[in-house]
Amino acid sequence: MRRMVLRRRNGADIALLVVVGAWIVVLALILRHRVLVSHDTLSNYAHVWYVNDRLRHGHGVPFRMPVIGHGDAYAFPYGFVPWLSAALLWGLLGPWVVTLWIVLGFIGLVAAMFWALPELRRNRWRATAALANPALVIAPIAGQLPFLWAAAALFLAIGLWRRDRRVFATIACAVAQITHVAVVGPIALTLVALRWRFDRHRKALLVCYAIASIMALPAALIVFASPVYEDAALTTRVSEFFLTYAERGLVVLVPCALAALPSGWQRWIATFAVVAAVSNVVLVGPYDTSFAWRGLVRTPDESIQTVIESTSFETGATYRVLQASDGKVAMYELLRHGARLDSEFFPESLHRRSFVDVTAYSAFLVERRVDFVIAFSAYDRLYKKNEHGLLDELVTRGPDCRDGVVGVSRVNDSKDPWLYRIDRGC
């Protein structure tokens, strides 16, 4: 019996050591990038750059960010704490400060998780399972900077509540929701609902949660007013909410469940730890994380420089970018060189769809106040929409706007990307 126990302990030690070693490698690969190109990273770089630019030119902390989202975007639709703090250090560290903040956000999340749930520290299989959680693995490699910081604050709230520090727990819960209310708000509500049945201080729990939620209400209003929300169809909003909640909720709910399992479930916890580790490979396809994993060793695509360095490039003009393979690097570089964007950095706002005809597409371009469209061949191959074809059809109609249809002209001779000028002056 003693030998069996020792083997189990040795197995748990080895498993934990392997997972921790893997995390050290992943974090080191992230830190080597001045600009990490992944699913959600470029939005962070763009917002932090813009806030720093406003501060550097003496305009103070900005509320609006009119250079994206067809002029209607906000500088902080979420992520106030990490984005503002990173912006203050941009002059010292440059874009790498955002990369560093992703890693520090992850480290802070893990530290807060183990502090809030000491049950994980006392059992190596529980610790291994928590660290191998696929939802946790996705967060830093996909560049979910605001979520990482918000989840860290939420774990602080959990730990403070378990230690009867109600005032500080309320503040931490408010900070978590303010940082990413659209995602962490529903997760916090789920935790309160699950905790309420077993908590000795039910009334206090509800009161403190209500206060934290009221404090986060302005952040929620900004999300609802942001183009990334308003530009999306209702069905898209609902589906994206449930998908995001199901994925990121596991970052918090899985370790809480592991901590709550009885000690007699040791074998099941060990099995879950192994399955969780293997799932990071199995779920690459279903979770669509291959792009994020490749980002650890990929350098940014610089093909947009052919447009920026051309005589046709106009600072202050609004560009619509049809791209697919560069993680929105083109949009980020256009911003940094003085352009404006017709959308925010998210699929809901990018409006990747086919249009009924040139009239409908023309109305869309006018509504978005688009001056130029940049089309990459990868966009056509991946999304198979008709927007590029409609641009070519409008080119044959002539460069001048007439009869309510915009004029379109090709302004570069090279392919990939193609650059189109839009005349919407009729």
Q: Which residue has the higher pLDDT, 364 or 245?
A: 364
* Banded pLDDT at 303 (limits 50, 70, 90): confident
Q: Return d(Cα 207, Cα 226) in angstroms, integer.
A: 29
- Could you tell me if 38 and 142 are in contact, meaning their C-beta atoms sit under 8 angstroms apart? yes
pTM of the model: 0.92
% of the chain beyond a pLDDT of 70 = 96
* Range of lowest pLDDT (56-60, 282-286, 409-413): 282-286
Q: Strand 340-341 relative to strand 372-375: parallel, antiparallel, unpaired?
A: unpaired
pLDDT beyond 50 at 131: yes
pLDDT for 37 equals 93
**Average pLDDT score over the chain:** 91
Query: Can you tell me which residue has the tokens 């004029």?
Result: 407
pLDDT for 282 equals 84
Sign, Cα dihedral of 60, 66, 68, 72 = positive
pLDDT for 327 equals 82
CA R_g for the chain: 24
pLDDT tens readout for residues 364-374: 999 999 999 99
**Domain spans in the chain, listed from the N-terminal domain onward:** 2-295, 305-423
What the block records as the tokens of 289 is: 């994380």
pLDDT beyond 60 at 100: yes
pLDDT for 302 equals 86
- Could you tell me if 69 and 344 are in contact, meaning their C-beta atoms sit under 8 angstroms apart? yes
Phi, psi of 72 (to 5 degrees): -110, 10
Q: Return d(Cα 227, Cα 77) in angstroms, integer.
A: 10
Average pLDDT over residues 251-272: 91
pLDDT tens readout for residues 287-297: 778 888 998 99
Residue 390 gets the label, from left (phi > 0), alpha (psi -120 to 50) or beta, of alpha
My answer on whether omega of the bond before 417 falls inside 30° of 0, hence cis, is: yes
Rounded to whole angstroms, what are the CA distances from 60 to 53, 56, 57, 171, 394?
A: 10, 8, 8, 26, 43
Q: Return d(Cα 25, Cα 221) in angstroms, integer.
A: 39
Residue type at 129? A
